[in-house]
Amino acid sequence: MSRALVHLLGVLWVCWWLASTGEAQTEYLRYKDPKQPVATRIKDLMSRMTVEEKIGQMVQIDRSVANAKVMKTSFIGSVLSGGGSEPLPKATAEDWVNMINEFQKGALESRLGIPMIYGIDAVHGHNNVYNATIFPHNVGLGCTRDPDLAQRIGAATALEVRATGIPYVFAPCIAVCRDPRWGRCYESYSEDAKIVQEMTAIIPGLQGSIPANSRKGFPYVGGKTKVAACAKHFVGDGGTVKGVNENNTLIDWHGLLSIHMPAYSDSIIKGVSTVMVSYSSWNGVKMHANRDLVAGFLKNTLKFKGFVISDWQGIDRITSPPDSNYTYSVQASIEAGVDMVMVPFKYDEFIQDLTLLVKSNIIPMERIDDAVERILLVKFTMGLFENPLADTSLVNELGSQEHRDLAREAVRKSLVLLKNGKNESTPLLPLPKKVPKVLVAGSHADNLGYQCGGWTIKWQGFNGNSDTRGTTILSAIKSAVDPSTEVVYRDNPDNEFVKSNNFEYAIVVVGEPPYAETAGDSTTLIMMESGPNVINNVCGTVKCVVVIISGRPIVIEPYVSTIDALVAAWLPGTEGQGVTDVLFGDYGFTGKLARTWFKSVDQLPMNVGDPHYDPLYPFGFGLTTESVKDLVARSTSASIGVRASIFTIMVTLFIGLYLTGMLVILSLYIMSLFFTY
């Protein structure tokens, strides 16, 4: 009897255990239910999270130290690729997707299965990735004055980024560069705040246009073909003293609001998902520790509801020297309002320090909750919980012909014609395609790396033609001219070579080498060493057009008188045909300077409206030309008009003569009658 009872109790216990386990396994999790409002999902998930899980969400690490185990055990919220950080050299879209999914699977295996968000710099197209379409840098796009073009570039960039499984980009840069000596000036659309504001149209291109009933300041990402964007770098990074990168911006409150802040307000209205803080300082206060501007103005006044992210090791630079008091840097940045911290490598130290600060009640739990709620809001909004894993359905979007055609359009619209002919009556452009022989010269004519500039494949850019796919300006010239035209290329021809070859004209392509950030800071703003020599040797002997490849205005005034035609091509990217489209007149020049072109670096800083304004070429300057097609049409129309006028005159004269003759005959008849009688 007792044995039977024990057996029965055992069976009942097993049944109860199985039933209770089944209930646990089928427990309703509101945060996983896409039918629930986002606010409900966030509240439910937050109620389940430990302090460690919350702090993990605030951490972004570089892919080089990420793996599935780290993602699972440290609850990492985000992974990024720094400049040039890739799965393997010339990685395919599939290689990227596979790598990112491995990290994501680790995140999904954590206790609550919160997906991580992968971020990458895509500042002029998907610039870290082999075979991607590289668009002109912002300095050129600003000269187009075309927000619709910026939006279309944003949409194309989003597709190429999603093709590699990435849902988040650190773009656009909405700095207002006030001094071209700054090494990041090419990342700025203009010295003028209004142009930068207008070009925030790239955000709805990247993210999708916000619905009509959207609440101000809330992030928006419109599905699997769009990405979360990041407005950067908050705020005043383009106004540092003498253009020194990461330095101090000295400006009053009114100046900060009127010059550097307007594009942020516009970005928030457009639903930008994230904002990145600047390395720089405002009147001596590091932006990564500026609670008044980040927590106060950005979050409370401008009502930004997405998350604020630090720059790469940005919190380390709060102290001088950097990383001299890391615990203080962690405290100062989190208290200032930074929500996600880009700690590419030493994430363990950051997690330990922040955990200690929270458990010691130095940083209140409310601040941690605010940061995590913002991060989760972006993740829920972009559908990351429903679609955490990437697929290969969009791989054909990477470097597609449609996107390359768009980049080519952007190139030709961004070029600014600064001079056309040594006198107005004899313009050199457009160039004839059918001539016996032409010279192409200069260090930048056949160098895709120089053409693309920094932030292309590698952080500092590259030299040569093998690191990605595109069309150099030399290749574009050879394709554009008539098959009978001989194209001769010399990097740095001497004067005798130019004289002895009887060239019809020359195209000289010179400029700056690639650079990024501090490496690009320059007090002299001179072109590469061979440039002046090539200009003097070529343009002193044969009719020449000089094409400047640069991230900003550079010293050109000493050579202008020698040059027949001068074109600012900025950093056009992979589609060199956009340059030849306007040189040979398939399209006309339409670009207008979005930056002042100085005579001498001694004038800097000098921006439109300054009392000492005395530029070589003023803000807004740009000669226009008609396409050959339009010129021919106008000429034909004029010719038809002339022929019509001649015909009218002849008919009038004939009628006049005819009428005159009739009058003479009538007079003679009357006279004959008179004399008869």
pLDDT tens digit string along 650-663? Answer: 444 344 434 444 44
What single letter denotes the amino acid at residue 574? T
Mean pLDDT of the region 534-541? 97
Q: Which of 311, 373, 564, 575 is catalytic?
A: 311
How far is it, in rounded angstroms, from Cα 464 to Cα 446? 8
Give the tokens for residue 237: 């990074």
User: To 5 degrees, how large is the angle CA 7–CA 11–CA 15?
Assistant: 170
In single-letter form, the type of residue at position 124 comes to H
pLDDT band with cut points at 50, 70 and 90 for residue 26: low
476: nearest Cα among 371, 547, 536: 547
Share of the chain above pLDDT 90, in %: 88
Chain centre distance of CA 415: 16
| Residue 369: other Cβ atoms inside 10 A | 13
pLDDT higher than 90, residue 20:
no
Q: What are phi and psi of 120, to 5 degrees?
A: -155, 150
For helices 347-359 and 326-336, angle between their N-to-C axes, nearest 10 degrees: 70
The per-residue pLDDT for range 142-170, each reduced to its tens digit, is 999 999 999 999 999 999 999 999 999 99
Taking the mean position of all CA atoms in its chain, how far away is CA 300?
28
What is the DSSP secondary structure assignment for residue 227, as one 8-state letter? -
pLDDT in tens, 299-314: 999 999 999 999 999 9
Give me the chain's average pLDDT, please: 92
pLDDT tens digit string along 479-488?
999 999 999 9
Q: Which of 446, 517, 575, 581 is catalytic?
A: 517
Helices (H), 314-398: 326-336, 347-359, 365-381
Can you tell me the mean pLDDT for 401-426?
95
Measured in whole angstroms, the distance separating CA 36 from the mean position of its chain's CA atoms is: 36
Residue 46 dihedral angles phi and psi, to the nearest 5°: -60, -35
Looking at residue 662, what is its pLDDT?
44
Is 517 catalytic? The answer is: yes
Label residue 12 by pLDDT band (50, 70, 90).
low
Q: Residues 310, 340: contact at Cβ < 8 Å? A: yes
Q: Give the H or E element holding residue 660.
A: helix 628-676
Transcribe 86-132 into DSSP letters.
-SSTT--HHHHHHHHHHHHHHHHTSSS-PPPEEEE--BTBSTTSTT-
pLDDT digits (tens, 9 = 90+) for 579-609: 999 999 999 999 999 999 999 999 999 999 9
Q: What is the pLDDT of residues 72-100, one digit of tens each?
A: 999 999 999 999 999 999 999 999 999 99
Q: What is 194-212 written as a DSSP string?
A: HHHHHGGGHHHHHH-PPPT
**What pLDDT is recorded for position 645?**
52
Q: Residue 369, by phi and psi: left (phi above 0), alpha (psi -120 to 50) or beta?
A: alpha
Q: What is the mean pLDDT of residues 531-536?
A: 98
**Phi, psi of 44, deg, nearest 5:** -65, -45
Structural domains in the chain? 30-397 (3.20.20.300), 415-625 (3.40.50.1700), 637-676 (no CATH)
So what's the pLDDT on residue 633?
A: 78
**How confident is the model at residue 654, as a pLDDT?**
45
pTM for the model stands at: 0.91
* 654 Rama sector, left if φ>0, alpha if ψ -120 to 50, beta otherwise: alpha
